[in-house]
Structures are given as structure tokens and as C-alpha cells.
Structure 1
């Protein structure tokens, strides 16, 4: 084993005796203070470095001794005078000081009062990696006594880096390995590798899920955003677990039967502003769990009643705002019974003049019906019977002039109806609106009923309906004009029938005179026609023409 520095338990005198003569005597080959001629020359050339060295008596007084290992005697001839051990310890000390590790070569752990001996095996581990591969002229390590407790000098010797004598020496625990270098670069490199692996994993998951390149997929929310990507058809490689799909603003044109792949978990489909003109049969059949369908702002001409296939659809919300020129495009779908679970129907902004009879009869689960911003003039053909779940009805921004008694009776019969919108309609305040005024005063279903006002006549212009009294209407005609007109039509028919019967009776009584008169007219017509025939024959034959002219002469 190699020789190492250690704290000796023997007295200073014994330590000095074991080390032999001092620096003035010839250098001993077995002591740590032996210097090679190169070291002596370097010491003479650099006195600034040598002033940090302490004489051997001071080291002996500090209790330091040089111990030799058993194998040093056999290898001493090859290593004497080269200062390998001093050089290795000096390099280790410089590295320890530069790395900020304040360790002490005296073998004491900071915070402990007792000093421990550094074993030969620990020193070998510490100095082994720092030993150069070829001999280099040795360089003595500057040492200075460590401050003893209480601020007095006289502690064991400690290595001092050149030019840094004022710094506190670093302490090294007994038996500890070499000081560990900072690993911040390694940690940063590993972090970058981890980030790259995570991004690659996320990309692989996205590709494995089938997210089409022009779209953006969110695995956490299970949504696919393909809005405004210029798509001419629905992407085929959509993730099967998609719950929300947005295709808004793509010029799709139409939805054929094979438009969508199998998406069993899709619930929200947005197809607004897609220039759709037709939705063919079975186009939405691969979407059995569809709840919300947005078809706003599309010029729809045809929607097949079998667009959802042969089975009933689970659709709950259907938006057709601004998508219909007339309701016949979707009338077959609404009346065909394919939407038994539909709860929200939006037909706003379509310019509808009227509604087909029984258009809502096959929607038993309908809760919200939006008919605002159309051109509806009357609701006499509309039947609200069977809509027991209806909660809100919006008829604002239409052309309604009045609500007839039949319509008011149907609205009263709906048990769950809570909100009715009637604002921005040109109400005509005549005698026919009296029943509606009374209904408004009694009902709490109409939203903003205080803002409903008259648009005609001029005497009641902008007057709220709820403030109109019967005397303000000045009804000079009977209230039920329709029944009066029906009575007049019946009387007119009876009079016309009586006149016809009298005419026929007169003809029957004068039948003989009429017959004689008819015969006379026939004979006169026959004589007149014979004269014309005779003249035609004479004019056609030249001989008869000359004879006729001579006879005339």
C-alpha cells in the first residue's frame, strides 16, 4: 500500500524521530519531505510559493506523520524522487478548492471535534483517478496550519492552493470518496431527452388515434377541430373515440350515405356554413350517439327522412337557423317520427310565411321551440296539441297581427309552458284582439308583455296592449264578424235558389208558346238559307247567269 498522511497518536518527539533529519540534512528517500533536484530548482525560482511551506518541525509539532505502506519498499526505487504522491495530492486539493467543496486534508469532518485517521484504501481511491499516465516533475503542495478552535494557529497541516492562502480550506470526511463534480449539465441533458421522448410519444399517440393532418385533436377533451380548413369531404381517419367534431366553414356541398366513418361516441356535430344543399339517406347513420346537430347557415333543399337510418335517432338538439327557404325541406324528417327524443328545435331566421299543419305532431319530447325572425302572419294552421313537454316558445320578430281564440286555447292547455316570446310583432288593435288582451292580463307566461304595443290604428299607436280597455277599441261591429258573414252567405244562397226556381216555373208554364216561337224562328232561318243557296247556284253557272240577266231586262 502507498504511504499517506495521517494524524499520529504518538507524541511529536516520536513523530520527529521517525521522520529523520530536517530539511537542512540530506533528503531521506523514505520521508515525505524529500525533494528532487527539479523541486529544489523550482523552489529557488518561485520563492513566493515556498513561503507557504512549513518546516518539518512545525509539521511534527502539529501531529502529522508520514506512514509507509508495506509494498512501498519494493516499489521505492522506481518512485523515489518523483513526487508522484505530492503531485497527486496537490491536484486533488486544487480541484476540491475550485469546485467549492471546502474539505480538509487533516481528516476531520466539519462540526466534529475528534479527528479520524484517513485509511490507505480511501486515499488510494481518492488519488488513483488523478494520477497522470506519465511521470511529470513533482510540484510541492503548499501547506499551512489549520486554525484551531478558538482562533489560534497550531492545528494540523492543510493544503493551500497557490495564490489563495486566505481562503478557508475544504474539509473531507474520513473514508469519503473523491469530491463529486456538479452534474447540472447531465441533468439538463436528461431533461431535454425526456421532453423529446414525451413529445414523440404524444405524436405517436395522435397518429395512432388517426387524427387527420389538417385538423387539431385533443385527446383529453376528445374533440376534433376541422373548422375552416377548406375540406371538400369529411376526413375518414377520425379517432373512433371522438365526442365533438367541428366542420364549420368547409365547402362540403352535400352529405352522402358514406360521408362519415363509424363514430359510436360522437355527441356534438357542427356543420354550420358548409354550403350543404342535401343530406341523403343514411348520411348520419354511423353516428348512433349524436345529441347535438348544428346545420345553421346552409342552403338546404332536401333532408332525407332516413338521414339517421331506419332506427330512431337519439338526437336532442337540432339547429336549422338560416338553413331553410321553406319548411318542406325538413317537413318529412320532422313528421316521420325519426326524432322522438328531440328536445330543442331552432327554426329561426328562415323567412317562413306559414307552418304546415301538424308539423310538430311527431315530436313528443320537444321542450324548446324557436321561431323568431320569420315572416309568420298567422298560426291558425299550427297545432300545439301533443307537446306536453314544451317549456318555451319564441315567436318574436314575426308578422303576427293577432292570436285567435283557437291558438290561445292551445297555449292555455300546455301544462309546462313557462316562456312565450311575442315581441316585435305588428299587433292590430281592433275588436278581434280583445280576447288576446284579456289573456295577456291574466297570463304570466309572456316575457316582456308590458312592451307589446299597438301598430294600428293611429289612435292607439304604441299603446301597450295590457293597458287597452274595451272602450278604447270602439267596436261598432259585432265582435264575431266571421259568424255574421257566414249567416249572410247562407241567406244569399237561399235567395238565389228561390230566383232560379221561379225562372224554371215560368218556363214550364209557357212551354207551348216557347215551342211555337222556336219553330217560327227555325222556318225563317231555313228560308233565308235557301235564298242564299239559290243565288250561289246561279252565280256558279255562266249560262244561268246570262239567263238571269236577260230575264231581268
Structure 2
């Protein structure tokens, strides 16, 4: 029953009373309150309908599935993020389009978004606040784009991020650290990029990562990659899964798996050579009892490099140690046997020689002595 019908049951609103006039006649009164109420209700009803249409509308070139809050805008040749996305959207697919940039607050209309797929676009520029407002986003796919680098601020507004796919881009370096943003990350894919180095501090900021995809990059397996090698060995020991790192340089390790290169073959990185001007000034200052320090224009970077924790020397592998002990024992045994054989041979030779000189020679000498004695006896007195 309409609300205005209930109101109209009362006489004061439905005009059942009469107004006396001069001459004893009466006239039915006007009903301004009733009409105002009906018009207001109609306006309210129409505004609710409009709001519902806006909230439940689906953008052009998109397909919306209301029961699952899924919006599919893939393969539509879009050059920008569609407007008027349903605010209750939980999953948004924008892959296989021509989107080349993401402005700040690009997804402000879908604050409850949990899965975002932007793969196979032309993305090369991501504003630092592009994902601002996506507090519930868990899966972000940016594979097969033209990204060159990533800013650390880009993911600061994604505290619930679980999976990040950055594969098949042109990324040459990643930030040193992304703070607490990646504490919940479990899957990271950066294969098929242009990475040569990967800072160990970045990996240590992901304590919950379990899948790590790193292949098909330009990894430079020099002494600076030793920290990554140590971290990966610990990561695998704790049950993590990775596809490994295949070295692209130097030539001695090209095509080799970083994890299979013996730790002992790595030499410590040489210290940077001091600046000649600074060295001369330091020598002159030390001569006068004054220690000079160079001007530090990049104090922040140098302080970080100086304070960076160096990896502790790792002992040799246990299997290698056991094999070394066995080989050493075998060699020592062989040497001892050879020494014993030499001693036996020497003693035998000495005994034979002594017997030869002490027996037959003595017997041959006795007849000689007897013959000499006979000759002496037979000689004239």
C-alpha cells in the first residue's frame, strides 16, 4: 500500500473537511500538501532508479557478470581504462588492448577490486599513484608490456598483494626495497626481462614468497651476484621453488646455472679505487695531522652501500668436505704403503748385500791365506 495512501486516510490531508463561506455555502478545500508529497515521492523514486542504473550499468565494449562481480573488457581495442565501472567489481580483465599509460587514481571507481589483469597491452608509463585506493587487490598481472623500470612508490597502496607477474617486459632494474608492501607476496615472476642484478635486500623484503621465476634475463654472474646466490640456496632449503638463474655473462659462466657454480670459485669484489685528488689531499692532511674527507654529494647512496650487510663467508658443502676427507685418506694410505714397501726393499737389499760380502768372500779369502802361509814356510830361512 503506497505511503501516500496511508497519509490520505486522515481527513486533514484528503480534503474531507469543508470551509464555510459567506452566505451559508460550503466549498471543498484545495489539496496542496497532498500534491507536494506525491511529487516529492515520485522524484525520490526516480532518483533511486537512476542511481541503481548507474551502479548496475556496464561500460560499452565490456561484459559484466553481476553474480560474481566480474567485468571482462579484454580484446576490445581500448586505449584507456573504461569509465563508469561497477563499483562492486571484484575481478577486472583488461588484457589484449592498447592501453599505453595508467594515470593516477586510474581505478578509483572500483575500490573493492581483488584481481586485475593488464597483460598484453602497451604499458610503458605507470604513474606512482596509478593503483592508489586498491586496498584489497591481491593479484596483479602486468606481463607482456613495455615497462622499463618500476618505482618503489608504485606498490605502496597495495597492502594485500599476493601475486605479481612482471614477466615479458623490458625491465632492466628493480627497486632496492619496496618496504612493507611485499610482506604478503607469495608469487613473483620477472622472467624474460633485461635484469642483470637483483638486490638481496629486495628479496629479503618478501618473507612469504614461495614461487620465484627468474629465467631468461641478462644475469651478470660476477661477484656482485654472490648475495643472490646465497639467498637462493637458503630459499630452496626452506622449501621455496625457483626456475634458477642462467648466467649471461661473463663468458666463463655464460649458460651456467648460478646455483651450480661452486661458492669457492667466487672472489671478493675489489674495493673501489680512491680518487687521486682525494688521495693527495689525504696525504697532505695526514702530514699536518689533519684527516680530510671528500665532499659527499651522494651521501645517502654511499651510506647505504657502506652500511649494507655483507654476506658472511659460507663454509664448503658438506658433501665436498666428506669427499675431500676420503680422497685425502686414500692418498695418505697409498703414500704410507709406498714408504713401507721402500723400507722393506731397503732392508732386504741391505741384508742380501751383507750376506754376500760376509759369506762367500770370507770363504774365498781363506784359501788365499793358506797358500800364502805355505809359501812363507817353504821359503829359505
Q: TM-score, normalised by structure 1?
A: 0.37
Cα distance, 1:490 vs structure 2: 7.7
Mapped to 2, the partners of 1:396 and 1:479 lie a distance apart of 26
- Which of 323, 332, 349 is the equivalent residue of 2:129? 332
Q: Match for residue 452 of structure 1?
A: 245
Flag structure 1 segments of 5+ consecutive residues without an equivalent: 1-237, 249-259, 499-553
Note the C-alpha offset of 1:376.
1.6
Q: Does 1:399 pair with 2:194?
A: yes
The answer to whether the 8 A contact 2:161-2:181 is kept is no
In the TM superposition, what is the alpha-carbon distance from 1:369 to its structure 2 partner?
A: 0.5
Structure 1 counterpart of 2:211, from 395, 419, 427:
419
Q: Distance in 2 between matches of 1:496 and 1:274?
A: 69
Distance 1:270 1:339, change over 3 A: same
Equivalence map 1:6-405=2 (5 Å) = 247=62, 267-279=69-81, 283-285=83-85, 287-309=86-108, 313-328=111-126, 331-334=128-131, 336=132, 338-381=133-176, 383-405=178-200
Residue of structure 2 equivalent to 1:30: none
Runs of 4+ in 1 over 6 A off after TM superposition: 238-246, 495-498
- 1:496 and 1:320 map into 2 onto residues whose CA distance is 58
Structure 2 SS opposite 1:318: strand
2:100 and 2:125 in contact (8 A); partners too: no
Does the C-alpha gap of structure 1 residues 291 and 455 become closer, same or farther in structure 2, counting only changes over 3 Å?
A: same
Contact 2:139 2:164 in 1 (8 A): yes
Shift of 1:374: 1.2
Q: Mark the CA change 1:291 to 1:493 in structure 2 (over 3 Å): closer, same or farther.
A: farther
Distance 1:404 1:309 in 2: 33
Against the structure 1 CA distance between its residues 459 and 277, is the aligned structure 2 distance closer, same or farther, given a 3 Å change threshold? Answer: same
Query: How many angstroms apart in 2 are the aligned matches of 1:437 and 1:303?
Result: 35
Partner of 2:361: none
302 and 378 in structure 1: CA distance in 2 versus 1, 3 angstrom threshold: closer
How far did residue 351 of structure 1 move? 2.4
1:479 aligns with 2:279: no
Which digits, 9 at most, give the CA deviation of each residue in 1:358-394, with x for residues without a partner? Answer: 2111100111000111122222355153322211111
Residues 100 and 122 in structure 2, CA contact (< 8 A), matched pair in contact too? yes
- Aligned pair count reads 232
Deviation at residue 426 of structure 1 after TM alignment: 2.3
Return closer, same or farther for 1:469/1:339 CA change in 2, 3 Å cut-off.
same
Whether the 8 Å contact between 1:244 and 1:269 is mirrored in structure 2 is: no
Correspondence 1:491 to 2:278: yes
For 1:309 and 1:359, locate their aligned partners in 2 and report how far apart those are by CA, in whole Å: 15
- The answer as to whether partners of 1:353 and 1:375 remain within 8 angstroms in 2 is yes
Higher Cα Rg, which structure: 1
3-state DSSP class of the match of 1:293? strand
* In structure 2, C-alpha distance between the alignment counterparts of 1:362 and 1:448, rounded to whole Å: 27
Distance 1:467 1:307, change over 3 A: closer
- 1:288 and 1:276 map into 2 onto residues whose CA distance is 20
Q: 1:422 to 1:386 in 2, by over 3 A?
A: same
Unpaired runs of 5+ residues, structure 2, are 1-52, 286-381
- Structure 1 residue 241 displacement after superposition: 7.7
